[in-house]
């Protein structure tokens, strides 16, 4: 990771209103296919004006989506590691980006057709690239991928390692694409086949090198010589689950026992949990896997699950910043969150408790990506960062990667591996949709069962077929001022009714229309004259009804 010079906060003024950016982006949207906000129009609200929880979370998700949509080589679909023109592709960012784009489709920020094409392009590039043991001219070996790929050629760059954890994060997104594109549409079928091909090609067992655990990496120049095993609690939990669930190259069940043998159960600030100081280790695996109510043997013996473990780690991280043993500027109940990020001296895995590389650097993704675990402390922290520090911290992709008030340093970059957890974990907090579909994947379920997780079961997956219910998409733009468009499909032709309700349950808009069967259609909802705030809308057809929420901003 490249170093950073100290920088003063940017002097630019906040744009007038969120709605201005949305309206301008809608008018200026181009061939990239994204709706609403153009890349160079930050989604934000004028300084001094508080956002609702809904508006802040929507802005964070939308700007994170924009990162993955625009920080890409449109020719091959590879996503940049960070927001620099010369940045290579990070295969972990690619995995996060796949899921981010599916969320963008659900929110109406891009159509299913355009979003699916972008995801497919990146997956095809990875599948069609050359694999082999050579040091150059390849993108991976044994089905795994190098940590960083040249953004143009798609081949190994920076003499980096064949990375097991980054391959796992990529495959997490690949399997999510398989779950999301689940109809008999030929293009959905193609995505699922491509996902199976990529995942089934990975030789996880090779990366044990005959040992008890999975090695962190391999290089053609030195082999496994400089790489240890993944052991003890950290971000690699999802690596072991996917490796255990592989239908082609699974690792033995003893690898999970080996992995947990390195756990350390500690108590900090009245919180007892398996510790790992940087918060990303408590978040990455949870982006896709819903660990609520499914403890493994280790956690069952302690009466909790991994979700609760992450909740306790989140509270301990906040308590550390309240105690502020390093006397850093700003640390407190609403300014906390240490994780791996840029800092004034380069890049480091900041964490606490106990203090690890803590130099006063706060990374917004640390708090934001903990929102499913502890929204009651995360939301105030996000509002505080936005309201108090936003002038130097907020930009076109939302919160910048990190800032250090003690050293008066504001990072200027955004990183894919930090943006991804923001959009995904907010989505899981709002509706659990990523968790819900991911936990239906047979390979994920198999991996969890082989690891000894309890209460794991997947509902029988229906055979993909014709549309059987209402398919209701998120309105776009959202938030909106004036009018917004709602896309939908219904299984039978006939009348449809769209109703908009305020938070007191009062019907404030009523639209009748005729719909064709199966095809994606649109209704325009007129919000003029309605006050700012959160609303709910329903679409009813043939005795069926679906709901979504929206936000109006004046």
pLDDT single digits (tens) 426-451: 999 999 999 999 999 999 999 999 99
Tens digits of residue pLDDT in 234-267: 999 999 999 999 999 999 999 999 999 999 999 9
**Which stretch of DSSP H or E encloses residue 193?**
helix 186-201
Between strands 340-343 and 271-274, the pairing is unpaired
- Least Cα distance to 407 among 83, 10, 5, 13 occurs for 5
Tell me: do 300 and 414 sit in the same domain: yes
What integer pLDDT is reported at residue 501 of this predicted model?
A: 86
Banded model confidence at residue 467, pLDDT cuts 50, 70, 90? low
Average pLDDT over residues 333-338: 98
d(Cα 480, Cα 381) in Å, to the nearest integer?
25
CATH number where 525 lies: 2.60.40.3080
Do 132 and 219 lie in a common domain?
yes
Residues 412 and 483 in one domain: no
Residues 349, 416: one domain? Answer: yes
Give a yes or no: residue 461 inside a domain: no
**Average pLDDT, integer, range 46-67:** 87
CATH number for 286: 1.50.10.140
In a shared domain, residues 314 and 425: yes
DSSP for 313-324, written as a single string? HHHHHHHHHHH-
pLDDT given for residue 421 in this prediction: 99
C-alpha 505: how far from its chain's center?
A: 32
C-alpha distances (whole Å) from 540 to each of 31, 186, 469, 501 are 33, 28, 10, 14
Whether 395 is covered by a domain: the verdict is: yes
Does residue 137 sit within a domain?
A: yes
- Residue 114 pLDDT grade (very low, low, confident, very high; cuts 50, 70, 90): very high
Residue 456 lies in a domain: no
Q: Which segment of 29-33, 105-109, 394-398 scores lowest on mean pLDDT?
A: 29-33
In this structure, the answer to whether residues 500 and 419 fall within a common structural domain is no
Q: Could you tell me if residue 1 is inside a domain? A: no
pLDDT at 373 over 60: yes
Residue 383 has pLDDT above 70, yes or no: yes
Tens digits of per-residue pLDDT, 60-96?
999 999 999 999 999 999 999 999 999 999 999 999 9
Q: In 383-405, which positions are buried (b, 16+ CB within 10 angstroms) versus exposed (e)?
A: bbbbbebbebbbbbbbbbbbbbb
- Any domain includes 458: no
Q: Identify whether the C-beta of residue 366 lies closer than 8 Å to the C-beta of residue 382.
A: no
Total number of residues shown for the chain: 554
Candidates 87, 51, 50, 52; CA nearest to 67 is 87
Domain of residue 488 covers: 471-552
Do 137 and 260 share a domain, yes or no?
A: yes
In a domain, 408, yes or no: yes
Give 408: exposed, middle or buried? Use CB within 10 Å, 0-12, 13-18, 19+: middle
Find residue 548's DSSP bridge partners. 537
Q: What is the pLDDT of residue 50?
A: 78
The confidence band for 45, taking pLDDT boundaries of 50, 70 and 90, is very low
pLDDT at residue 519, rounded to an integer: 76
Residues 384 and 485 in one domain: no
Of the three residues 416, 450, 484, the one that is the final residue of a domain is 450
Q: Residues 376, 482: one domain?
A: no
Instruction: Name the domain boundary from 421, 450, 479.
Output: 450
Q: What is the pLDDT of residue 2?
A: 33
Question: Given this model, what pLDDT does residue 49 score?
Answer: 60
Q: What is the pLDDT of residues 252-307, one digit of tens each?
A: 999 999 999 999 999 999 999 999 999 999 999 999 999 999 999 999 999 999 99
382 to 99, 187, 279, 350: CA distances (angstroms): 23, 39, 16, 19
Helix (H, G, I), strand (E, B) or coil at 274: strand
Please check whether residue 333 lies inside any domain of the structure: yes
478: which DSSP letter? S
For residues 316-324, average pLDDT? 99
The C-alpha angle with vertex 30 and arms to 476 and 99, in degrees rounded to 5, equals 55
Name the phi and psi angles at 453, rounded to 5.
-70, 140
What Cα–Cα distance (Å) separates residue 167 from each residue in 91, 222, 253, 290, 538? 7, 19, 20, 20, 40
Check residue 25 and give its pLDDT: 34
The structure tokens 């991911």 sit at 438
Handedness of CA 38, 42, 43, 46 (dihedral sign): negative
Number of Cβ within a 10 Å radius of residue 210:
7
Q: Write the pLDDT tens digit of every residue in 448-463.
A: 999 999 999 864 444 4
Contact 138, 156 (CB under 8 A): yes
The four Cα atoms 310, 312, 315, 317 give a dihedral, to 10 degrees, of -70
**Structure-token match 């890049």, residue found:** 347
Provide the angle, in degrees to the nearest 10, between the axes of the packed helices 112-128 and 91-107: 160
Looking at residues 156-160, what average pLDDT do you find? 98
Residues 379 and 507 in one domain: no
Q: 3-class DSSP state for residue 546?
A: strand
Query: How high is the pLDDT of residue 505?
Result: 73
Please count the structural domains in the chain.
2
Contact 469, 484 (CB under 8 A): no
By the 8 A CB rule, do 400 and 417 touch? no
- pLDDT category, 11, cuts 50, 70, 90? very low
Give buried/exposed letters for 216-234 (b at 16+ CB in 10 A, else e).
Answer: bbbbbeeebeebebbbbbb
pLDDT at 425 over 70: yes
| End-to-end Cα separation, the chain, in angstroms | 42
Closest CA to 347 of 405, 401, 287: 401
Q: Are residues 380 and 506 in the same domain?
A: no
Mean pLDDT of all residues belonging to the chain: 90
pLDDT of residue 38: 53
Do residues 315 and 363 both lie within one domain? yes
Percent above pLDDT 90 for the chain: 77
Of 184, 204, 169, give the one whose Cα is nearest residue 96: 169
Cα dihedral sign for 159, 165, 167, 169? negative
Kindly report which listed range (104-113, 139-148, 428-437, 486-495) carries the lowest average pLDDT score.
486-495
């Amino acid at each position: 990771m490249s170093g950073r010079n100290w920088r003063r906060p940017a002097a630019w003024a906040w744009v007038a209103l969120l709605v201005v950016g949305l309206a301008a982006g809608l008018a200026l949207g181009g061939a990239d296919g994204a709706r609403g906000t153009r890349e160079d129009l930050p989604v934000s609200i004028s300084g001094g004006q508080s956002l609702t929880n809904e508006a802040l979370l929507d802005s964070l998700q939308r700007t994170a989506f924009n990162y993955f949509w625009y920080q890409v080589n449109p020719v091959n679909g590879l996503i940049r590691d960070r927001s620099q023109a010369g940045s290579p592709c990070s295969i972990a960012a690619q995995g996060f980006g796949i899921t981010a784009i599916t969320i963008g489709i659900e929110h109406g920020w891009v159509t299913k057709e355009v979003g699916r094409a972008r995801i497919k392009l990146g997956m095809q590039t990875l599948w069609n690239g050359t694999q082999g043991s050579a040091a150059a001219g390849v993108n991976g070996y044994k089905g795994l991928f190098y940590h960083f790929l040249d953004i143009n050629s798609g081949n190994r760059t920076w003499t980096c390692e064949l990375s097991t954890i980054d391959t796992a994060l990529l495959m997490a997104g690949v399997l999510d694409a398989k779950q999301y594109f689940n109809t008999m549409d030929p293009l959905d079928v193609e995505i699922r086949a491509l996902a199976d091909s990529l995942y089934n090609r990975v030789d996880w067992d090779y990366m044990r090198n005959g040992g008890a655990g999975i090695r962190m990496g391999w290089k053609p120049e030195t082999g496994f010589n400089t790489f240890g095993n993944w052991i003890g609690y950290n971000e690699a939990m999802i690596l072991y689950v996917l490796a255990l669930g592989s239908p082609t190259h699974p690792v033995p069940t003893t690898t999970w026992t080996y992995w947990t043998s390195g756990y350390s159960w500690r108590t900090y600030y009245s919180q007892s949990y398996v510790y790992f100081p940087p918060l990303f280790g408590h978040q990455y695996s949870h982006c896709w896997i819903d660990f609520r109510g499914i403890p493994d043997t280790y956690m069952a013996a302690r009466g909790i699950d991994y979700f609760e473990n992450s909740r306790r780690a989140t509270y301990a991280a906040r308590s550390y910043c309240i105690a502020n043993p390093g006397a850093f500027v700003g640390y407190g109940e609403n300014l906390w969150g240490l994780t791996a990020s840029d800092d004034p001296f380069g890049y480091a895995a900041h964490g606490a408790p106990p203090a690890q590389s803590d130099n006063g650097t706060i990374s917004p993704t640390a708090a934001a990506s903990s929102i499913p675990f502890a929204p009651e402390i995360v939301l105030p922290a996000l509002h505080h960062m936005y309201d108090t520090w936003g002038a130097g911290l907020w930009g076109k992709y939302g919160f910048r990667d990190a800032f250090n008030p003690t050293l008066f340093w504001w990072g200027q970059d955004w990183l894919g591996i930090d943006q991804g957890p923001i959009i995904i974990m907010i989505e899981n907090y709002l509706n659990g949709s990523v968790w819900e579909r991911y936990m239906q994947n047979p390979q994920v379920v198999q991996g969890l069962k082989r690891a000894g997780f309890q209460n794991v079961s997947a509902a029988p997956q229906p055979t993909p077929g014709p549309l059987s219910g209402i398919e209701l998409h998120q309105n776009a733009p959202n938030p909106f001022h004036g009018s917004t468009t709602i896309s939908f499909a219904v299984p039978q032709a006939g009348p449809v009714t769209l109703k908009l309700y305020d938070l007191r349950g009062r019907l404030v808009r009523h639209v009748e229309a005729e719909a064709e069967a199966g095809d994606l259609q649109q209704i325009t909802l007129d919000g003029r004259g309605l006050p700012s705030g959160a609303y709910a809308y329903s679409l009813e057809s043939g005795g069926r009804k679906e709901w979504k929420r929206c936000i109006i901003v004046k």
